[in-house]
Structures are given as C-alpha cells and as structure tokens.
C-alpha cells in the first residue's frame, strides 16, 4: 500500500488530471480523487499529504454548559516524509494534542473564517495516531440543545446534531470533507435519565454506568463514511420495532403516531433492494425528532433523522422516508466528492425515491410526485434568475432544490432514452463499482460513457450529458412525467378561478400532493372573499398537515390576508423545518411595509426555537444580519 500512496502523491504533484482508484490502506479506506474538480474548497485538509482514516470519540454531553468535551483520537495515513496534518475546526477550544502514548505534539490554530472555521495544524513527529483534547462552544453550529419546553414530553432536555454539509467541524475536529471517508467509534456520556443514539451500530443499547449520575453509550461504524454523516441525538427516547431490521426511536408521547406512519418501512427497504441491490448498512432505524429539526430528514447511516411534520395520519408524506432510505445507496454508499457535486447525492436520491414509491404504492402516486417535482424545478429556475443563470447548472452552487429536481429529471431522461431495463442494470452496477467511494460529476459522466454509452455516438448526442451537467437551464430532451390525477386538480383550479365557490369543488379524498397542486396553482392575487371561502370550507389555517398549511399561508401572505396571521404566527413558532420557514419569511419580506415588520416580530420570538443554521439564514433574510 505504501507503493500505491507514493505513486499517487507523485502523480498528484506532477499533474491533477487523473483519478486515483486504488484504496490507500485498509479496504474500508476510500480513495482520494485527485482531479481539479475534486479539490474541496470548503475544507482546510490536505489529504494527499496526510489524511484521517478513523476517528475515536470520547465525549461528555454537558446540558448545562451546552458543550461536548473530551477527545477525538484519529488514525493518520501520511505520505512518506509528511510532517503535519491539517484538520477542520469551528469554534473549538483545543487544550492539547498528543500522540497515542500521551506525548505532546506541537499544534497551531490558524486564522478563523466565519463559515469554514479555522485550520488545526498538528506536527506529526512520526505519529500515526493523534489525540485532540477539546471542548465545543455553546453555540456550536452542528448542535441544537433544546430545553424541555421545546420537546414533545416537556419534561427533559434534548440534543441533536446536524452535520451536513460542513457543520460537524464545530463538535468534531477532523477533515470535514465528503471525499475523505472515515470509520469511527464513539463513547458518549450523558445524564442517566436520557438515552443517546448515533448513526452507527449501538454497542450498549442500555448504557453503562459512568459515575456522577451519568451513563455512557458506545457506538461503532466500521464502514467508511463522509464525516458529515456522524450524527448524535440525546433525549427521553424510546424504541419500537417495525420489522426484523427496522425500528423507530422517538419521545414516548410521539411513539404511537410515529410508528403508525412508519409501518411500511421494512417493506420499503426490501423494495429498494429489489431495485438497486442489497442494503449494506445492517439496520435501518428512524429517529423522529422534535419540531425544531431543520430538514425534512437526514440520511445518517443506520439511523435516519426525520422531522415530525411528515406525520399526517394518512402516510401521505412517507416519500420522505423513501428519500432518506434511498440515500443509503446514493450519498452514503457513493458520495459526492465535493459540495459542487451535491446533485450526485440529491438528484440520484430523488430519482431513486420516486422509483421506490412507484414499486411500493403504484405508478399514479409516483407520477403525482414526479409532476410536482417538475413544478418545483420550474419555480426554482425562475427564482434563480431564469434559464441562463449559472445557479441552474447541476455542477456548482446550484439554486434552491434544483440539485434534487433537475438531477432526478436528468436520470429519468436517461432512463427514458435507453430503456428502464438497461438503465437499471447500469445503475445497479454503478453502485457496486463505486461502493464506499467518493465520486465527482466528471467521474460519473466518464463512467456513463464507459459502461452505458460504450461509444454509441448517436446515443451520446441524444443524451446531451455535458449540457445537463455543466450548462444552465433545462436541455430540450428533458422528460416531464405528467399525472392524470393532477390534471383533474387543474380542472378544479380553473373552476375556482372562473367563480365557482369552494364548496362546489370536487376535492373529496384528495391527497397531500393534490392539495399542493391546487394551492400552488391558484392565482397569487385573490380577493378576501375568495380567501375566506377557501379557509372556511377547507379549514386550511388549522390544518394538521404542515405541507398543506404552509402552502395556504404562502397564498395568504401574497394577498396580505390578515385573518390568517394568527395561524401564521402559531405555525412559525412551532415548526423548525427550513423548507416551510424560508418561503413564508421571504413572502413576508416581499410584502414590504406590511409584511416585513411581521417577519421581524415573529422571527425575534421564534429564533431561539430554530436550529442555529436555520436561525442564521433567516436572520440574514429578514434583518440583513
């Protein structure tokens, strides 16, 4: 292996035009891509000099100080003659760095950048293992510490982490880049009345006595993962099995509703395996978090984190579960090497999610969801500044959810062009060839050409691969899946626009997807009488379905419909999911003298309940901070 590393480093020094495909050390250590587009501008790490291959965490969760403190011991794979290793940190208080024998190693903390943090440079002095002793800050960007009042049970505090995309450096000093995959273990000490869970194998499900009224929980991940997938949650948690390899964690008061909504999870795993090969992570459990969780879900290996807003009592939003499950192949198994390649993660997963939904719930359900995604893609292109805007390119700093929607449309277009059977065979083999490895956009296109197109110039021309990946807008071969069910909804939109009262609309047994099509396609300018008619007839302001309620509130804001303001304030102060929050605050800001003061007032009230990353984003949007 030393020969492989030396050759790789030499090649890198002379040219960055090749991709390293050899494993550098143990089989679980993923290769480093050395093409120019694989250089991670959002990490200080220099992995071709020295890279982290494994992390052992031993940390205490202090709910009073809101800190994680202890040590991170890292195995280091260094090039011959390498003198130092560079780690990513964000607001960490480092007390010392030692080697495996406890001998001090010289270290320096570089100048801090508000977004990237500061580089921690450690002089190796021949060490192959280093130990960083540190404490996180009370405002660590990856961590949200909830008081009991913000939990479902209202009795005990709660902690959860959100690592994607570069937040984990605020509680773990490591090389925080998706292309530098690592194995890890953890020992987490928490108050004895709380339970800790992590995104790895749970070695001590009931915890071990750790003195001073505390318990320690141990975890292990023996498959290399990108650092952002190391995840932690601590709270008053209970567990219920859903199947032989699936289950749900949540607070006791939420368990019955959560388990009922997730009843199809075990079958979903089987369905996904039938499409693209075996599930390789052991268990697939789900953690349903308090409402302040900032995303719909997070695909942490072995333990998907989910927002409680997906629970609507009718399983209408279990596409979210299918999405996070699909990440077990696209994102977790094959990972974007850098963040400009993130469509390889989200676009693949959105496509795979839709295939799971089709296989499990039928083509009409999948068609509805794909058609809605098309609507979202068109809206995002407009929001980005139109089809010529750079932020509509798949590779790069893509706008909104275009990495999801345009990426999925790209893959669906390939499927339609070459045929499903041929495409599925390719995609299964792609996941096998690149399992537990990072991937770049250039690398994916190269793989497509080698293993699917195989020199077929006519097919190459039809697919327009480079235009999809690197050009703005939407290529003219894009496949739009249209839903018959949503076409019927469009007829009801037309009827309402023509003057039909809400009570005469045919909305019986509409799904969430149909309601979203209806509300989002209504004119943005309606009269107070029309809005009142909709709200009275369909009780939109008090809907328990967060998707429907947020779409209604967007419409109400666009019309300055003041009767909806109490419902708006209640919603914004009880939900932390950015997908819902940002459009509502943005809508208020667009309303100028009427809406912006409302946004400022509600954000001041709700900000302490939001995840730090969401709070900062909304603060910039509303206050320009």
- Which H helix or E strand runs over 397? none
- Which H helix or E strand runs over 507? none
CATH pick for 51-236 out of 3.30.230.10, 2.60.40.1730, 1.20.1370.20, 1.10.3720.10: 2.60.40.1730
Count each helix (H run) and each strand (E run) in the chain, helices first: 19, 22
Annotation marks residue 228 as catalytic? no
Residues 587, 581 contacting (CB under 8 angstroms): no
Helix residue spans in 449-591 (DSSP H): 457-463, 465-470, 484-497, 512-521, 528-538, 546-558, 565-572, 578-590
- In DSSP notation, 17-60 reads -S---S-SSSTTSPPPP-SGGG--TT----TTTEEEEEEEEEEE
Backbone angles phi, psi at 276, to 5 degrees: -135, 25
pTM exceeds 0.75 for this model: yes
Mean pLDDT by 10 residues, the chain (625 residues): 31 29 42 74 96 98 98 97 98 98 98 95 98 97 93 95 96 97 98 98 95 97 98 98 98 97 98 97 97 91 96 89 98 96 97 98 96 96 95 93 97 98 98 97 97 98 98 97 97 96 94 94 96 97 94 98 98 93 97 98 94 92 90
Strands (E), 192-231: 195-198, 201-202, 208-211, 214-225
- For 1, the 3-state DSSP assignment is coil
Per annotation, catalytic residue among 249, 404, 561, 585: 404
Cα 474 to Cα 468: distance, rounded to the nearest angstrom? 7
Distance spanning both ends of the chain, measured CA to CA: 50
pLDDT of residue 24: 34
- For 296, the 3-state DSSP assignment is coil
Residues 489, 482 contacting (CB under 8 angstroms): no
Cα 466 to Cα 314: distance, rounded to the nearest angstrom? 41
pLDDT of residue 28: 52
Cα 393 to Cα 397: distance, rounded to the nearest angstrom? 8
CATH 1.25.40.320 location in the chain: 484-623
Q: How far is CA 326 from CA 62, 179, 245, 306, in A?
A: 34, 19, 16, 14
Per annotation, catalytic residue among 251, 261, 299, 324: 324
Cα 528 to Cα 512: distance, rounded to the nearest angstrom? 24
- In DSSP notation, 77-131 reads EE-TT--EEEEEESS-EEEEEEETTS-B--EEE---BTTTBEEEEEE-TT-SEEE
Cα 104 to Cα 100: distance, rounded to the nearest angstrom? 10
The two structure tokens encoding residue 43: 């990490």
CATH 1.10.390.10 location in the chain: 334-470
| Nearest by Cα to 336 from 346, 325, 326, 324 | 346
Whole-number CA gyration radius for the chain: 25
Compute the Cα dihedral for 136, 140, 142, 146 and give only its sign.
positive
Annotation marks residue 324 as catalytic? yes
Q: How far is CA 463 from CA 360, 415, 438, 479, 536, in A?
A: 29, 10, 24, 11, 49
- In DSSP notation, 261-287 reads HTTTHHHHHHHHHHHH----SS-EEEE
Task: Write the CB contacts of 307 (distance below 8 Å, at least 6 apart in sequence).
Answer: 288, 289, 291, 293, 295, 296, 297, 320, 576, 577
CATH 3.30.2010.30 location in the chain: 241-328
| Nearest by Cα to 551 from 576, 574, 569, 568 | 568
Whether domain 241-328 has CATH 3.30.2010.30: yes
Q: What is the DSSP letter of 62?
A: E
| Nearest by Cα to 370 from 331, 334, 409 | 409
pLDDT of residue 37: 72
Specify the residue for token string 């035009």: 17
Helix, strand, coil share of the chain (percent; to 5): 45, 20, 35
pLDDT of residue 31: 75
484-623: CATH class: mainly alpha
pLDDT of residue 500: 97
pLDDT of residue 292: 84
Cα 65 to Cα 63: distance, rounded to the nearest angstrom? 6
- Which H helix or E strand runs over 422? helix 420-433
Backbone angles phi, psi at 453, to 5 degrees: -75, -45
Q: Which CATH architecture has domain 334-470?
A: Orthogonal Bundle (1.10)
Question: Is the backbone peptide bond immediately before 165 cis, with ω within 30 degrees of 0?
Answer: yes
């Amino acid at each position: 292996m030393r020969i492989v590393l030396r050759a790789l480093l030499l090649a890198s020094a002379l040219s960055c035009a090749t991709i390293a495909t050899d494993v550098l050390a143990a089989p679980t250590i993923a290769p480093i891509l050395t093409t120019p587009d694989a250089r991670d501008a959002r990490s200080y790490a220099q992995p071709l000099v020295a890279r982290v291959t494994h992390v052992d965490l031993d940390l205490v969760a202090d709910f009073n100080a809101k800190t994680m403190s202890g040590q991170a011991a890292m195995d280091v794979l260094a090039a011959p003659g390498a003198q130092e290793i560079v780690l990513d940190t964000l607001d960490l208080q480092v007390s010392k760095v030692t080697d495996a024998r406890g001998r001090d190693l010289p270290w320096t903390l570089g100048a801090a950048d508000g977004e990237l943090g500061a580089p921690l440079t450690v002089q190796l002095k021949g060490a192959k293992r280093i130990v960083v002793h540190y404490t996180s800050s009370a405002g660590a960007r990856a961590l949200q510490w909830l008081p009991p009042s913000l939990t479902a049970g209202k009795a005990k505090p709660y902690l959860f982490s959100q690592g994607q995309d570069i937040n984990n450096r605020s509680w773990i000093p490591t090389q925080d880049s998706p292309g530098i995959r690592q194995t890890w273990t953890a020992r987490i000490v928490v108050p004895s009345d709380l339970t800790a869970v992590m995104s790895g194998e749970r070695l001590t499900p009931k915890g071990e006595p750790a003195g001073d009224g505390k318990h320690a929980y141990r975890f292990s991940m023996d498959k290399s993962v990108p650092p952002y997938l190391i995840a932690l949650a601590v709270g008053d948690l209970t567990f219920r099995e859903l199947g032989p390899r699936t289950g749900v964690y949540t607070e006791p008061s939420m368990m019955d509703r959560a388990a009922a909504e997730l009843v199809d999870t075990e079958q979903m795993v089987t369905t996904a395996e039938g499409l693209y090969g075996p599930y390789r992570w052991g268990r697939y459990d789900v953690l349903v978090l308090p409402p302040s969780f900032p995303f719909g879900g997070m695909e942490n290996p072995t333990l998907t984190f989910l927002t409680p807003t997906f629970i609507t009592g009718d399983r209408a939003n279990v596409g979210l579960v299918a999405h996070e499950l699909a990440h077990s192949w696209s994102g977790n198994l094959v990972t974007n090497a850098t963040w400009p390649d993130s469509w390889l993660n989200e676009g693949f997963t959105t496509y795979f999610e839709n295939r799971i939904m089709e296989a499990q719930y039928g083509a009409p359900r999948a068609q509805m969801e794909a058609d809605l995604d098309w609507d979202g893609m068109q809206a995002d292109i407009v929001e980005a500044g139109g089809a010529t805007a750079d932020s509509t390119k798949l590779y790069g700093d893509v706008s909104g959810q275009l990495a999801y929607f345009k990426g999925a449309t790209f893959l669906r277009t390939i499927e339609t062009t070459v045929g499903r059977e041929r495409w599925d065979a390719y995609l299964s083999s792609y996941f096998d060839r690149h399992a537990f490895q990072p991937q770049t956009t250039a690398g994916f296109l190269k793989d497509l050409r080698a293993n699917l197109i195989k020199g077929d110039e006519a097919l190459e021309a039809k697919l327009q691969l480079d235009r999809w990946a690197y050009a703005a807008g939407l290529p003219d071969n894009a496949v739009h899946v249209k839903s018959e069910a949503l076409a019927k909804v469009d007829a009801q939109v037309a009827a309402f626009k023509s003057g039909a009262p809400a009570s005469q609309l045919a909305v019986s047994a509409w799904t969430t997807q149909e309601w979203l099509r209806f509300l989002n396609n209504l004119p943005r300018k309606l009269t107070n009488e029309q809005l009142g008619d909709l709200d009275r007839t369909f009780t939109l302001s008090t809907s328990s379905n967060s998707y429907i309620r947020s779409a209604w509130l967007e419409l109400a804001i666009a019309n300055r419909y003041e009767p909806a303001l109490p419902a708006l304030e209640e919603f914004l102060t009880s939900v932390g999911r950015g997908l819902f929050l940002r459009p509502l605050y943005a809508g208020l800001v667009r309303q100028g003298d009427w809406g912006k003061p409302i946004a400022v007032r509600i954000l001041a009230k709700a900000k302490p309940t939001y995840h730090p990353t969401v709070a900062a984003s909304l603060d910039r949007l509303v206050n320009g901070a």
